[in-house]
Structure 1
C-alpha cells in the first residue's frame, strides 16, 4: 500500500483544472498539504520548513529540512563525517573506513536490499534468447562466481544475487525451500556440460563453437558506472574460464536507457538493475510479464512465457496468501530453469546517517523504511520518525 499510495499525488482541482498539461505547469507558489513547505530555493540549496497547517503538525518534531547540493559523491563523503549533513545515500567502496569507523557510536550505515543487478539477455537474440539460447544462458549463469562479483562490484557491502530472481534476504519468506542452497560460486563442469549437450565443441583457442561459429557474446554497460564495469570485467574472465568469450562494450548513460526502452532489442547482453517492491510479485510482474514487452515498458529483454504469465495472473487474482506464495514459487522454478535474467548481486538503497542530532532512523532492528533519502515516499516516512537529540 505504501508503494502504491506513496506514488499517487493528490492535487487541488480548483487550481489544476484550468492549467492544461499539468506536467508543463510552472508556478512560484507551489501547493501542498504535506508536513513541510518550501521556503527557500537556490542553485545549491533547498530549504523546507515545518507546515503549521499539516493535519498532524504536533507529531512533526523536525522544524526544518535542508537539502544542499553536492556536485559528486566525493564532496558528499567529506561533508557527512564533518557533520555538515546528517543524512546521505551514496555508494563508496570505503564507506566503513571513511564514515562509520570515524565515530561508530553515531555514524551508521543501513542498507535495505531492494534491487537485483543482473545480466539481461535479449530473448530475441538467436544465440542467447528463447529456447534456442537456453543452454548458453544456463552455461553463463553456472560460470559466474556471484560471491566474487558482489565483492568486486560493491566492495562486499551487498550480497550476491539469487538465481531465483528474488531480492534476498528481503524476500526470504517467499523463497521455495528447494532453492535455498543454490550455488553462489562458479560450477565450471556444469557450464561446460550445458554447452556440450547442446552440440558445442571447444575450439583450439579454448572457446566453444558450433557450426563453425565461436561462442562470442557482447555485454553492454554504462561507461560511468564503475561498479557495473568492475563486474563486467570479472564476468568476462569467469566466462572465458569455461570457454565463453565476452566482449565488454560501454555506452553513455542516455544511450543505455534509450537502448533499454526503445523496444528495438538492439543488443545481445547488457547489465541492468531490476527494482523490487513489497513482495516479489512487483519485480516479477514488471520484468517478466509479456504485457510489459514493448517500447517504454519494463520487460525489455522480451521474455514471453505462458507459464510465467499464468503464475502472475494467479497471484494478482487472489488475496489468499497461500495461493500467492504458490504462484511466486512457481515463478522461481521458471526463473531457475530458464534464467530469463542472470542475477549477479542484490542491490541496496544506501542510507548513511548520524545520530548526533536526530534519532529514529530505520535500521536492522526497525526496518520501517529503506532509509534512503533518494527514494520516495521513504524520505518523508523517515523524517516523520525523527526525534531531535
Structure 2
C-alpha cells in the first residue's frame, strides 16, 4: 500500500493553512520597504524585529526566507486538514511491504534557476549532505538514498521507518548538487546568492527589505503573483501600525481589538487557527551542562501550577489562545491520541498556588524571608528570555512574573533581539525562554515528540541543539518514539501504548512547561489579492512565517485587478 492510501485513513484534522510559492536567483541591491499601494506587489511582515540578515540557507535557524519558495520539498503536506500530499518536485512515492524502502518518482523537465537540470542526483546529494552534517539533520534522517535514474530513486532504512516519510518528503529542502558540492561547510554557509527550483527568485536585497520575483521558468508556470516584498519593522506594534496605515498586505501576529479587526480595517480579512503549543523552554538537563533552579523537575512543575492561564489569555493574547495538553497532543485535532492516564487532560486554567508550594516544599525548597523560596543557598530566581518587540510574549512573561511571585518564584524577563534570542536557545544559554513548539508535517503528535523530546536531537550546552532545545533525555521516551516510527500509522491500537508512555513521562518531567495552545492570527489584504485561505478552504497553514505553507499560499494568490 502506498503512503497516499494510508494518509487518507488517518483521522481528520481541525486546523487551518495557507499557500505560497517562490524561487531564488540571488542578486545584490539596496532598497527600502514598499507600500501596500504598490501595484501587484505583496508586502509582507513576518514579525522580525530588526534588520534582515542575508541568510538564504534553508537549513539554518536564522534563515530569512527560502524553504518552499526558493528551495522546494518533494511534496507539500497540509497540517491544517487531511489532504493527500500534493506533488512538488516529486510526483509519486510508495513503501515496500515492510516499511524499509521508500521509492520516489520525480518530476521531469525541472530546471534550477540558473538553467541546470534538476535530477535524482540532486535529491540524493541533499540527503547524503544531511547524513554528513549533523547540524543540518534536524529530522534525524538515517536512510540510504540510491539513484535509479534521473527521475527515480529509493531510500532504504535499517528498520521500518513509516513516520520518516512526511519529514523526508515534505520538510527536506532540495539543493543543487552542482553548487552545494563546492561549499566548504553547508552547516554554516549563509547562501547569500541562492539558486533553487521554486516559483520565485531573490531579485533585490537590503537589510530593510528584500524582494522575491516570480520565476518565469518555473515548472508549474510563472505564478500569478509577480512579487513578494519582505519588510523589516521593529516588532508587533509596528506591524499593527503598518496594517492600519495600509502599508503591508499580510502579517501574522497580534493587533489591537482583534475581535473587530475586519470592521476596523476595510478591505482586510483575518483568520485564527490553533496548532502551535506555547511553552517555557527550560534548559533542563544538568548532565548536558544546564545550570539553574529550572533543572529541578519540581521547579518546572511548580511554575506549571502557578500560572493563571485565563489571565494570560486575556491580557497577552486577546483570548485567541486555547487549552493545551501537558501530554503535547492537540486536544481537538489529536483527541484520539490523548492518553487516559494523564494527570491533567488539559492544562489548569487557574493558578493553584498551594499545589505549586507543596511541590516545592516536597523537593526541599524552603520559603525565604523575602517571600522567595530557596534551597542549599540558592534562591528560586529565574530569567526568561523573550524577543524584543514581540508584545504578546512580553506581556505574557511580565504577567507570569507577577503570578509566580505569589507562589514564591522570582521571574525576571530578559529581552533581546530575535537573532540573539534564537542563538541563545540553540546553545542552551538560557534558563527559561517563552517559545512555541511547531507541529509536524502531518496531523500526528509523533512529530512534536520526535523533534523536541528525542535525545538524538540535542547536544551539550555550548553546541547548537536543534530542535530539542531543552536538552531533554529520557530512555523510555526515546524507545517509545523509536517504536512508533516502525509501526504502520493505520495500526492505531499498537501505537497508542507508546503514546501513553511518552505523555506520562513528559507530563511528569515537563522539560517544556505548557502555557496555552497559541492562536495564530493572520491579517491580509483581500481587496488587493484573491486566493487567501478561509475557514472553509484551509489550503495551507495561514502564517507568513510557516514554511513551506507560505510558498503554497503565494502560488494561490492573484492580484484582484487581474
TM-score, structure 2 normalization: 0.58
Secondary structure, counterpart of 1:118 in structure 2? strand
Q: Which residue of 1 aligns with 2:525?
A: 354
Q: Which 10-residue stretch deviates more, 290-299 or 113-122?
A: 113-122
Secondary structure, counterpart of 1:373 in structure 2? coil
Q: Does 1:148 align with 2:317?
A: no
Q: Which residue of 1 aligns with 2:538?
A: 367
Residues 82-111 of structure 1, C-alpha deviation per residue, up to 9 Å, x if partnerless? 6554432233344445x4222578522333
1:33-44 correspondence to structure 2 within 5 Å: 33-37=197-201, 40-41=203-204, 43=206, 44=209
Q: Which residue of 2 aligns with 1:296?
A: 464
Q: Which residue of 2 aligns with 1:66?
A: 228
Q: Which residue of 2 aligns with 1:117?
A: 279
Q: Are 1:167 and 1:276, in contact at CA under 8 Å, matched by a contact in 2?
A: no
Q: Which residue of 1 aligns with 2:350?
A: 185
Specify every segment of 5 or more residues in structure 1 that has no aligned partner in the other structure, as ranges: none
Specify every segment of 5 or more residues in structure 2 that has no aligned partner in the other structure, as ranges: 1-74, 78-165
Q: Which residue of 2 aligns with 1:307?
A: 476
Q: Which residue of 2 aligns with 1:136?
A: 299
Residues 226-274 of structure 1, C-alpha deviation per residue, up to 9 Å, x if partnerless? 3333222222222221233334444554443343323xx5544343332
Cα 1:229/1:46, change in 2 over 3 Å: closer
Q: Which has the higher helix share?
A: 1
Q: Are 1:281 and 1:312, in contact at CA under 8 Å, matched by a contact in 2?
A: yes
Q: How many Å apart are 1:11 and its aligned residue?
A: 4.4
**Whole-Å separation in 1 of the counterparts to 2:501 and 2:554:** 39
Q: Which residue of 1 aligns with 2:383?
A: 219
Q: How many residues align?
A: 376
Secondary structure, counterpart of 1:342 in structure 2? strand
**Whole-Å separation in 2 of the counterparts to 1:208 and 1:65:** 56
Choose the corresponding residue for 2:515, options 340, 344, 351: 344
Choose the corresponding residue for 2:359, options 172, 184, 194: 194
Secondary structure, counterpart of 1:385 in structure 2? coil
Q: Which residue of 2 aligns with 1:317?
A: 486
**Whole-Å separation in 1 of the counterparts to 2:372 and 2:201:** 61
1:13-52 correspondence to structure 2 within 5 Å: 13=177, 23=189, 31-37=195-201, 40-41=203-204, 43=206, 44=209, 46=211, 48-49=213-214, 51=216
**Whole-Å separation in 1 of the counterparts to 2:191 and 2:371:** 60
Residues 183-230 of structure 1, C-alpha deviation per residue, up to 9 Å, x if partnerless? 22111222222233334444444434445x465221221361433332
Q: Does 1:8 align with 2:172?
A: yes
**Whole-Å separation in 2 of the counterparts to 1:160 and 1:182:** 6
Cα 1:105/1:203, change in 2 over 3 Å: same
Cα 1:272/1:353, change in 2 over 3 Å: closer
Q: Are 2:225 and 2:554, in contact at CA under 8 Å, matched by a contact in 1?
A: no
**Whole-Å separation in 2 of the counterparts to 1:375 and 1:267:** 25
Q: Which residue of 1 aligns with 2:115?
A: none
- How large is the RMSD of aligned CA atoms in angstroms? 3.4
Cα 1:50/1:210, change in 2 over 3 Å: closer
